[in-house]
Amino acid sequence: MLTIHHLRLSQSERIVWLAEELGLDYELKVYERRSDNRLAPDEYKALSPMGVAPVITDGDLVLGESGAILEYILATHGTPDQRASFAPGPDSPDHADHLFWFHWANGTFMATAMLSLMLTIANAPEGNLAEAFSRDRNAKAWAMIEARLGEADYFGGQSLTLADINMGYALTTGRAFRQTSVEPFPNIRAWLQRIGQRDAYRAAMAKAEPGMTPMLS
């Protein structure tokens, strides 16, 4: 049985979303963050060496890392049609775009967001070399996203792919940690509305974050 271990308000919501898109039979275990420091509880940290979300178990397999989990679930639990749709192959005109945004999500965008968050927590002075570097990279990242969603309805191209699911957390729930507004970005707002209309996304968020209104504006 595939089990998704979901830490509240974390990247593991991506995994729940994919499972719902694929219509999988899975078990969802939800973990609350600690009240003292808002980090993962010890029982969640014990699941993997890094002690961070996301984590799945599938039989004897324990697997972490968003990208690895998304690809694993699609490859082992998705149908051939679903695999072709959610991960366009080399024969698809969307192949390169899907690959770029799928890997860019955590390789660049989330890394940039985490740097910005840590500098804020550390009260780095404005104009400080690290703060200026972070602010510049952050501005470029959001500009790239806005431009991409002006070219296509989805990051992966003509339809929703794993790239969109990997990008989703930072553009929705992840903004709660940084108070980032999407008001200046009409193309991002339009994408958020398309995502919010998906039955699978609504079902995933209702299960993963009960009582929370998804951040779609």
Q: What is the pLDDT of residues 14-32, one digit of tens each?
A: 999 999 999 999 999 999 9
Report the greatest alpha carbon distance in the chain.
52
The C-alpha atoms of residue 145 and residue 149 are separated, in whole angstroms, by 6
Reply yes or no on whether the pLDDT at 68 is more than 80: yes
Q: Where in the chain is the domain with CATH 1.20.1050.10?
A: 89-198
Mean pLDDT, rounded, for 68-92: 98
Instruction: CATH 3.40.30.10 in the chain: give the residue spans.
Output: 2-85+202-208
CA distance 98 to 100: 6
Between 13 and 48, the more confident residue is: 13
The per-residue pLDDT for range 148-195, each reduced to its tens digit, is 999 999 999 999 999 999 999 999 999 987 778 999 999 999 999 999
Tell me which DSSP letter residue 157 carries: B
- 40: its two tokens: 């993962």
Superfamily of domain 2-85+202-208, CATH level 4:
Glutaredoxin (3.40.30.10)
Task: For domain 89-198, say whether CATH 3.40.50.300 is its number.
Answer: no
Q: Among positive and negative, which fits the CA dihedral 69, 10, 51, 108?
A: positive
CA distances to 11, 30, 141, 189, 202 from 216, rounded to whole Å, are 16, 22, 19, 7, 11
